[in-house]
Structure 1
Amino acid sequence: MIRALYSVLLWLLTPLVMLYLWRRSLKQPDYRKHWNERWGFYGQRARSRTIWLHAVSVGEVRAAAPLIKALKDAWPAHRIVLTCMTPTGRATAEELLGDSVTIAYLPYDYAGATRRFIRQFKPVFGLLMETEIWPNLVAVCRARGVPLFLVNARLSAKSAAGYQRWRWLASPAFAGLTGTFAQSAADAERIVALGGQHVQVTGNVKFDFDPAPAKVVQGQDWRNALGPRPVLLFASSREGEETLLLDALAQTPLPAHTLLVIVPRHPQRFDEVAALIGSRGLRCLRRSEWNGQDIGEADVLLGDSMGELTAWYALADVAIIGGSLLPFGSQNMIEACAVGTPVVIGPSTFNFAETARMAVEAGAALQGQDMPTVLALATRLLLDTNDRQAAAEAGLHFASLHRGATQRVLSALATKLAHAAPTGSVPPTA
C-alpha cells in the first residue's frame, strides 16, 4: 500500500519531472536527448545473458570502470548494460568504455517503466553503484527474480538521517536487495539500521582506478610546455567555490608566476565561471581555445572540457579538491593521489568521510577549515619542494595500499549469486 501511494505520487509529479528536464536542457541541451528511455522505452533489441550495472553520473561511472572490466573477465559470454541518469555520466561512459558496453538511461522509478526496462534487457543480475535506492526498481527486480546488489555502498550520517525520515518507504527497499557491499564499517552500520540485510564491507572500488596512460602523458606534455612555473589546480569545483577562491586570492596572492587552473565539475557552468574570472580583471584562457603549448598572458586556465581530469592532475603541482569548501561533501580525491599530485581539501567531506580521514592520516592530503586556510596550505606545498614531494609519495602509497576492493566485490558477488538464484540461472565466474 505504501509503495502504491508512492507510485501514485510519482505519476502526479510527472509534469514537474518533465519541466525539470526541460529546464536542465536550457543550460545542457543533451538533456533533450533519449527522453523515451527515461520512461522505459528503448530501441535496442532485447537479449539474454546480460549483466546490468547502474552508475548515476560521472563519479560513479569512473568508479565503475574497473568493476566493469572485472565483470567482463569473469563472465565473458555476457554483455554489460550500463545505465546512468545524467548526460555527463553518459558521455563519460562513452568516452571510457566506447561500444564495449551498451549504454542507456535508467528510467525514472515508475513501476511500469522499470518493468519495461527489465523485460527489455533481461539482466541476469543488477548492480547499483553507491547510493541508488529506488523502491519500485527493487520491488520489480525482486518480483522478476533478478538478484539486485548495492555495490561500493556509502551512506553518510546526513543521508542516513534523510532516509530515516522516509523509513516507511526506504526500509523495504534496503531489505529487498539481495546483498550490499559497503565501503566501510560505518556505511554498513547505517545501512543495516535502515533495514539492509546481507551487508558486508568490501572497501572502496575507487582505489582500483588506473590513470589512463595517454591522459597522464598529455598532462606531462602540458607541464613541459609551461616550463618551471608552479601550477595550482582547483579540481571539480562546485557552484560558489570559485568565488571563495578568487576572494581569498585577492587577500593572499599565489607565489609569483603561479598558473591557476580551474576545472568546474559541471559543464553547464563553464561559461559562468569564465565570466566570473573575467569580472575579477583576470585574463582567462579556456581549454577549448588552448593548443596545449603557449598560454600567452593568461592568469587562469579554465578546463572547459570533458574527460581530461587525469591530464589536469598530471599537469598540477598541487590540487585543491572541489566540493569540499562548501557543504557538497567533496569530490573524489583518490584520482589525484593515484597520479602523485598532492591534495588539499576543505572541511566538507561527508561523501568521502573515511577516505578523507585515511588520506589525512597518511599524509596524502592536507585539510583546512575554510578557503583561506586551504589556500595557505596549498601555497606552502607550492613553495616547499620537499613537503610537496613527500605528499606526492604519500599519495601514491595511499592509493596503492587500499586497492583490491573490486576483486573482493567480485568474489562476494559470486558467492551471493550461487545462493540467491536457482541452479544454472546464474553462471559461475570464469
Structure 2
Amino acid sequence: MNRCIYTLALRALAPLLWLWMARRAKRAGGQWQVFSRERFGHAIEPALSPPDFSWTAPVWMHAVSLGETRAAQPLVQALLDRGLPVLLTHMTATGRAEGQRLFADAISRGQLRQAWLPYDFPGATRRFMQGYQPRCGLLIEREIWPNLLAAARQAGVPMALVSARYSASSLRQATRMGSVMREALGGLDLVLAQTAEDAGRLEQAGAPTPVVTGNLKFDLVLPAAQVQAGREWRARIGRQVIAIASTREGEDAPFIDAIKRAGKGAGQLAGQLAGNPASDPANNSVNNAAANPADAPLFLLIPRHPQRFDDAARLLSEAGLPYVRRSAGGDPAAETRVLLGDSLGEMAFYYAASDVAVVAGSFAPLGGQNLIEACAAGVPVIVGPHTFNFQQAAEDAIAAGAVMRKADPAQAVDAALAMLKDDAQRQDASHAARAWFELHAGATRRTMDALAPWLG
C-alpha cells in the first residue's frame, strides 16, 4: 500500500472513525470535539495570551492519550524548564484533561498550549504545520501517521520518535501495510528507542538508525502531595490494602470473583477454627479477619478508563460485595471490602496507600499497563501473563525481584493476600521495586541531549 491508497482508504473509513469516536466520547465523557476546526488542522489562538511570554516556534509534542501524556511529563517539564514554548497535542479527552492538570501553571502563563492532533488527511496536516510552525515535532512511543510525517517533511519540521516502543505485532502490522509505513518511519529524523529490542524492530520496519535512550516513564516524579495523602489515608484506616490497578475490559469480573472467593475462604476457615477447641483464634490472623471486618484487607479496584466506572460498580453490587466509591469521599467503613477508584489523576495516591499492587491490563491479551509507577512508589507488584507492551521492563523487574507474575486474577489475589502475611517478603519486594526503578532513571537527560541541536 502506498500513501495515496492509504489516504483514499482513510477518507472512505472516516465516517466509521468519527462514529466510533462519538460513541467513545459518549461513554467516557469529556469534550472530544470530534468535528472541531482543530481536528481538521486549524490553529486556534488562545482566548487570552499573557503578554510576558513570546509563544513562537514551539516544540511540538504529541501524547495521544492518558498513558502517553503521563509518560511525556518528565520531557515536557524539561523543555519548560529550558524556557521553551511547548505545543502539546492529544487524540483523547482523557489525555487532554491530564495534560491540563499536569501543566496547569505553564498553561496559565502562556508557555504551553494544548490542541487536538489533526486527522491524518493531507490538507489537515498541512494546515497544522502552517498554523503552528513548530521548530520540531516529538512523537511519544509509537504514534506514526504517514500524512502527518509527510507534511512535516514538506514544511521542513524535523521529527523524532522518542521513548519509542515497537512490539513484534507492530512490526508485523507495518510489514502488512507495505511501503506507506516504511516511508513514514524512514521520514523520521531521529528515533530514540526504549530498549535494544525496540530499536532492532524499528530499524527492520524502516526507521533510520534508532538509538537506545531508555523509557521516559522511569523519570516520573510522583506528586508528593498525593503520596503523603495516600500514606496518611492508609494509616488512618488501619487496614492492609491491595490495589488492583488499571483493569481493562473483561478483567473486573474475574477480579471481583477472586475477592469474593477469598472472603468466603476466610470465613469458612474461621468457622472451622471456632469449632475446634484446640485452636487459638487469638493467634490466627485469618480467623480474626473474618471475625472482625475491620481487620480484613481492603481492596482498591481501579478501572483504567472512566467509561467503565459504572460497570465496575454494577458488578460489585451484583457480587454482593460491600463497596464505596472514591468519588463519594470519606473513609471506608469497617465492613467495606472494596473501594472503587472512580477518579482520574490519583494513581500515586492509590499506590502510596497500598501494601501490594496488582497491575492489570495484563490478565487479558491487552499488553499490560504501566508497572513502573507502582515500583516508583516502592510497592510490591504482581502482573499477569500478557505484558508485551512492557515486555523488557516486566522481564527485568521480575528478574530483580520487584515484580511477580501470576497466571490469572485468582492466583494474583491469592499471592497478594499471602504477601500481606509475610512482612519480610513484602519489605524485600518493596525495596527491590524502588531500587529497580532508580536504576533505570536518566532517559529524559539522554533524550534532551539527543534533541539539543533542535532546541537552540
Bigger-Rg structure (1/2): 2
Tell me the residue number matched to 1:66: 74
In 1, are the aligned partners of 2:230 and 2:352 still within 8 Å (CA)?
A: yes
Deviation at residue 313 of structure 1 after TM alignment:
0.2
Deviation at residue 230 of structure 1 after TM alignment:
1.3
In 2, the alpha carbon distance for the partners of 1:32 and 1:179 equals 31
Tell me the residue number matched to 2:414: 376
Deviation at residue 295 of structure 1 after TM alignment:
2.9
Q: Which segment drifts farther, 241-250 or 255-264?
A: 241-250
Deviations 1:131-150 (A, max 9, x none): 10000011110111100000
Match of 2:155 among 122, 144, 148: 144
In 2, the alpha carbon distance for the partners of 1:126 and 1:316 equals 38
The answer to whether 1:320 aligns with 2:358 is yes
Deviation at residue 18 of structure 1 after TM alignment:
2.0
Tell me the residue number matched to 2:2: 2
In 1, the alpha carbon distance for the partners of 2:105 and 2:125 equals 24
Gaps of 5+ in 1: 419-425
Tell me the residue number matched to 2:164: 153
Match of 2:311 among 248, 259, 272: 272
Aligned positions of 1:10-409 closer than 5 A: 10-33=10-33, 35-36=35-36, 37-44=38-45, 48-74=56-82, 76=83, 78-100=84-106, 101-227=112-238, 229-253=239-263, 256=289, 257-291=296-330, 293-409=331-447
Deviation at residue 250 of structure 1 after TM alignment:
3.9
Deviation at residue 188 of structure 1 after TM alignment:
0.3
In 1, the alpha carbon distance for the partners of 2:70 and 2:171 equals 24
Deviation at residue 2 of structure 1 after TM alignment:
1.9
TM-score (structure 2 length as normaliser):
0.88
In 2, are the aligned partners of 1:324 and 1:346 still within 8 Å (CA)?
A: yes
In 2, are the aligned partners of 1:85 and 1:105 still within 8 Å (CA)?
A: yes
In 2, the alpha carbon distance for the partners of 1:159 and 1:384 equals 41
In 2, are the aligned partners of 1:178 and 1:198 still within 8 Å (CA)?
A: no
Question: How many corresponding residue pairs?
Answer: 414
Q: Which segment drifts farther, 36-45 or 205-214?
A: 36-45
What CA RMSD, in Å, does the superposition of the two structures yield over aligned residues?
1.7
Which letter maps to 2:350? W
Tell me the residue number matched to 2:272: none
Deviations 1:217-268 (A, max 9, x none): 11012112211x2111101111111111122334444763111110100001
In 2, are the aligned partners of 1:167 and 1:194 still within 8 Å (CA)?
A: no
After superposition, the Cα gap between the structure-2 partners of 1:393 and 1:47, relative to the gap in structure 1 and judged at 3 Å, is: closer
Q: Which segment drifts farther, 57-66 or 1-10?
A: 1-10
Which letter maps to 1:238? R
In 1, the alpha carbon distance for the partners of 2:409 and 2:336 equals 23
Q: Which segment drifts farther, 198-207 or 245-254?
A: 245-254
Tell me the residue number matched to 1:421: none
In 1, the alpha carbon distance for the partners of 2:45 and 2:437 equals 39
Q: Give the ranges of 4+ consecutive aligned residues of structure 1 lying more than 4 Å apart after TM superposition.
A: none
In 1, are the aligned partners of 2:260 and 2:319 still within 8 Å (CA)?
A: no
In 2, the alpha carbon distance for the partners of 1:22 and 1:367 equals 37
Which letter maps to 1:271? D
Q: Which segment drifts farther, 266-275 or 38-47?
A: 38-47
Tell me the residue number matched to 2:277: none
Deviation at residue 49 of structure 1 after TM alignment:
2.2
In 1, the alpha carbon distance for the partners of 2:380 and 2:316 equals 25
After superposition, the Cα gap between the structure-2 partners of 1:224 and 1:114, relative to the gap in structure 1 and judged at 3 Å, is: same
Aligned to 2:135, the other structure's residue is in SS state strand
Q: Which segment drifts farther, 20-29 or 169-178?
A: 20-29
Which letter maps to 2:441? R
